[in-house]
Amino acid sequence: MLGGGICGLATALMLARDGHDVTVLERDGDPVPESAEAAWERWQRHGVVQFRQAHFLQSRGRQVLDDELPDVTRALEAAGALRLDPIMDRARRPGDERFVTFTGRRTTLERAVAQVAEAELDVRRGVTVTRVETGSVWTDRGERFSADLVVDAMGRRSTLPKLLGAPIPEAAEDSGFLYYTRFFRGTLPEMRGGPLTALGTFSILALPGDAGTWSLTLFASARDQALKRLRDASRWTALVRTCPQHAHWLDGEPITGVMAMGGVIDRYRPPAPAPGLVSVADAWACTNPSLGRGISLGLAHAALLRRTVREYGTDVADAFTATTERELAPYYRATVATDRARLAEIEALRNGAAPPPRDDLRAAFAKAIGRDPDVFRAALEITNCLALPEDVFARPGMTERILAAAAEANGGGPRGPTRDQVIKILASTR
């Protein structure tokens, strides 16, 4: 197993518990910290660019852990991961439990998984892989490992083509966004709307974490020079204060400055790029993290590999490729399509042009979510990667419900500042 992050360790645990001899090679050398707070304060994971950026575990990821690694779910609870139920005070229905999840800061989530993994696996930290061939892996320590199956779980920074010494066909493009994230601690703010809100030429992502923490992320086009002033904490704060649904998220103790992240790639590689080798999770396909799908889809991919190996043994290339393409690749493509549509809207608005026309049904869907309980649950299914949009919209009567609820919705007051107001706020604040 190449890579000892959340999805790499989860994959290793699943395969090891099915009787396979698994060795995990992780480049970063820091040991697993003794507590969640120590992990947040001191754990260095240079191989994970988003280690202290906003993170969220969608309910599909929680379901995978419940089904495949229930002791990891218990470890998350013991670590103080936040139990989140998006139904909240709405009238409950049978099946609503599928939307419940446990989430927290990435440092807390990874530490919990690592504690379970290191109690039973051979996890070697501080080991750099230098070469990969069919059936063999070499390290910077002069070691050679023989393997029936090599699993690339090195994440979005996977260097597999270099290790193989050969190119791998891939589709890759910069998602086009820049992220500006700040963490807080205190009494968890009330959610007023969904976690992700589009506000003209920027979006806000508000995510609760563990131990009374939360993150607030503003993201915008990487081309928007004016919004790069959001790196400054005073300007970032001034802009959030003008957003009625999110200003109260500032009512806590800041525990970080504004952390910027750019250069986020949407990339797809073959699930089985070479004989005896498979790629899982972000090493296979990675996207813009604002939809919070990375860990959850990565865990689902790990479970898919476990199922495929159970059926075919370690000669899984064709079957794993086919099942990945059928079951998970549609979520990757849907995420990229969402990215492109949002970025096109942002670019049009900041250049004073009319946004590209939206699909009428999807536009109505956004308005109807807060008006109809069936549409609300349908939105949760899509958000949590439990169903694809096209499958939801094809359900009998769903189109009619969406259109009827959208017709009843009123726009209400403004949810955030206009573009001119944004420019003025960022220019005037010191």
Q: What is the pLDDT of residues 284-330, one digit of tens each?
A: 999 888 888 999 999 999 999 999 999 999 999 999 999 999 999 99
Q: At which residue do the structure tokens 């009998």 appear?
A: 396
Contact 219, 177 (CB under 8 A): yes
Q: What share of the chain is helix, strand, coil (3-state, %, to 5)?
A: 45, 20, 40
What domains appear along the chain, each with residue ranges and CATH number? Answer: 6-170+266-334 (3.50.50.60), 177-262 (3.30.70.2450), 357-413 (no CATH)
Q: Is 429 exposed, middle or buried (0-12, 13-18, 19+ CB in 10 A)?
A: middle
For residue 398, the tally of other CB atoms under 10 A from its CB is: 18
* Residue 356 CB burial class (10 angstroms; 0-12, 13-18, ≥19): exposed
pLDDT for 412 equals: 54
Which is nearest to 6 in space by CA: 103, 83, 132? Answer: 103
Q: What pTM, to 2 d.p., does this model score?
A: 0.94
Helices (H), 267-418: 294-312, 317-327, 329-350, 360-368, 373-383, 389-393, 398-408
Residue 89 has what pLDDT? 65
Nearest-angstrom CA–CA distance, 362 and 281? 28
Supply the pLDDT for residue 410: 61
> How far is it, in rounded angstroms, from Cα 229 to Cα 180?
10
How far apart CA 49 and CA 61 sit, in angstroms, is: 21
Give the pLDDT confidence score for residue 260 in this predicted structure: 95
Q: Provide the pLDDT for residue 290.
A: 81
Q: Which residues of the chain have pLDDT under 70?
A: 89, 358-359, 410-414, 430
Distance between CA atoms of residues 187 and 98, nearest Å: 26
- In the prediction, which pLDDT does 357 show? 75
Enumerate residues 6+ apart whose C-beta is below 8 A from 328: 285, 297, 300, 301, 304
Give residue 326's identity as a one-letter amino acid code. Answer: R
Distances (CA, A) of 413 to 268, 291, 417: 40, 25, 11
Write the pLDDT tens digit of every residue in 34-57: 999 999 999 999 999 889 999 999
Tokens coding 417: 């500042």
pLDDT at 239: 97
